[in-house]
Amino acid sequence: MRHTFEGPHSGDVTVVDELGTSTGPVLVYLHSEWGAFEEPPLPGELLDGNRVLVVHLPGWGVSTSVRPAAGLPDLALVVWWALDRLDVGEIRLVGHGIGATLAAEMAAAQPGRVGSLALLAPWGMFDEADPGADMFALLPRDLNPLIYADPDGPVATAQQPRPADAHETGLAVIRRVQMLGTASNYLFPIPDTGIAERLYRLAEVPVLLVWGARDGVVPPSLAALWTGYLPHARSEVVQDAAHMVPYESADARKLILEFLA
């Protein structure tokens, strides 16, 4: 079921998809900078008795905003605003990429409402010694091998089809610009979002960090920075996956489900 809310600002539309019909515990999924894919293994696998809510992040196309939020802490307030309209109390949060950074911001804003937090390849910290590739300055042919462990495999080709037709190619470019252009408001030119300074708010929140070993844009070495601020967090690196880890790795999905259970 799709919930569409006008707001929070005049002209904005914020959309939340509710998967299944469960009235069980609420699980909120925040998609990555690449948007919500129509038939991913996640978040469908998360149903498992949960009431799963997929939030379409404002500006990524399905949810629209008249202007980007000033920063991810402001965007977090927008997502809480939408969830409040669904009478949601305590939630468990799963986020991927920029959705993970946003999930951490939401938890920092209202830690008492987040029962557990799974962060998959989160943006938000930066290490000059291992900066990762500049996602905003790479052609698809150069970027895909850094975000997919198998850039020619089924996940990559389903998520980023390569049409031969110029019209379809143009539409793919527009979709890419919509996604990454919006993400650039928060991650450009350096993806240090300042989240580190707010992580002290998560001291009582159980946290799982998951990285794909071959992530070329958010390097797994950043896990050490995150756990430096979140010493109670569990951190895992899964093999044979890159930045699109929740789609590429069944092991990653299993880790998440076990953690949430």
Partner 1 sequence: MKFTYFHLMPFDGLPEDFAQKHRSVWVDIDPRLMDVRRIHHLYNDYLDELEHAARMGFDAIGVNEHHSNAYGLMSSPNMMAASLARRTADTDAKILVMGDAVPLYNPPIRIAEELAMLDVISGGRLITGFPLGSSQDTNYAYGIKPATVRERYYEGFELILKAWQSQEVFSHNGRYTKLRYVNPWPKPLQQPHPPIWVPGSGSLETMDFAIRRDFPFFFLSYFGTEFSGSMLRRFWERAEAAGVDDNPYRVGMFQPILVADTDEEAERLYADHVKYFYRRCTHTYPGFAEAPGYKSVESLRAVLPPPGAKTTQRPDSFRAAKDYEWADFVNLGIIIAGSPSTVREKLEHLASTMRIGNWIALMHIGDMPREKAMNNIELFTTKVKPGLSEVFSQYEHNWWPKPIPGFEPASVAPVAVAR
One-letter amino acid at 246 equals P
- Binding to partner 1 by CB under 8 A, coded x per residue (else -) over 134-173, reads --xxxx--x---------------------xxxx-xxx-x
Bridge partners, 154 (sequence order): none
Residue of the chain from 3, 176, 201, 234 that contacts partner 1 (CB under 8 A): 176
Number of neighbours of residue 127 by Cβ within 10 angstroms: 13
Residue 212 CB, nearest approach to partner 1 (Å): 22
H or E element that contains 172: helix 166-187
Q: Give the separation between CA 227 and CA 229, rounded to whole angstroms.
A: 5
Footprint on residues 199-218 left by partner 1 (CB under 8 A): none
The verdict on 179 binding partner 1 (CB under 8 A) reads yes
Least distance between partner 1 and beta carbon 137 (Å): 5
The residues, ordered by sequence, that sit 6+ positions from 161 with a Cβ below 8 Å of its Cβ are 168, 172
Site track for partner 1 across 67-86, x = CB under 8 A:
-x------------------
Distance separating the N- and C-terminal Cα atoms of the chain: 24
Taking the complex as a whole, how short is the minimal distance between the CB of residue 23 and partner 1, in angstroms? 38
CA 29 to chain centre: 8
Please select the residue that binds partner 1; options are 177, 203, 224, 250, rule is CB under 8 A. 177
Distance of closest approach, residue 88 Cβ to partner 1, in angstroms: 30
Q: What string marks each residue from 98 to 137 as x (binds partner 1 by CB under 8 A) or -?
A: --------------------------------------xx
Minimum distance of partner 1 from residue 189's CB (angstroms): 4
Q: Of 20-28, 181-189, 226-234, 253-261, which segment contacts partner 1 by CB under 8 A?
A: 181-189
Note whether 77 and 65 are within 8 A (CB). no
| Three-point CA angle 31, 185, 198, nearest 5° | 70
Beta-bridge mates of residue 26: 51
- Give the span between the Cα atoms of 86 and 53, in whole angstroms: 10
Of 71-79, 111-119, 179-187, 227-235, the segment contacting partner 1 by CB under 8 A is 179-187
What is the Cα Rg of the chain in Å? 17
User: Nearer to partner 1 by C-beta: 137 or 158?
Assistant: 137
* 246 in Cβ contact with 221 (< 8 Å): no
- Work out whether 7 is an interface residue with partner 1 (CB under 8 A): no
Q: How far is CA 198 from CA 90, 108, 140, 234, in A?
A: 20, 6, 33, 18
Q: Considering CB under 8 A, how many residues would be counted as binding partner 1?
A: 28
Give yes or no for residue 229 binding partner 1 (CB under 8 A): no
Which residue ranges make up the site for partner 1 (CB under 8 A)? 68, 136-139, 142, 164-167, 169-171, 173-174, 176-185, 188-190
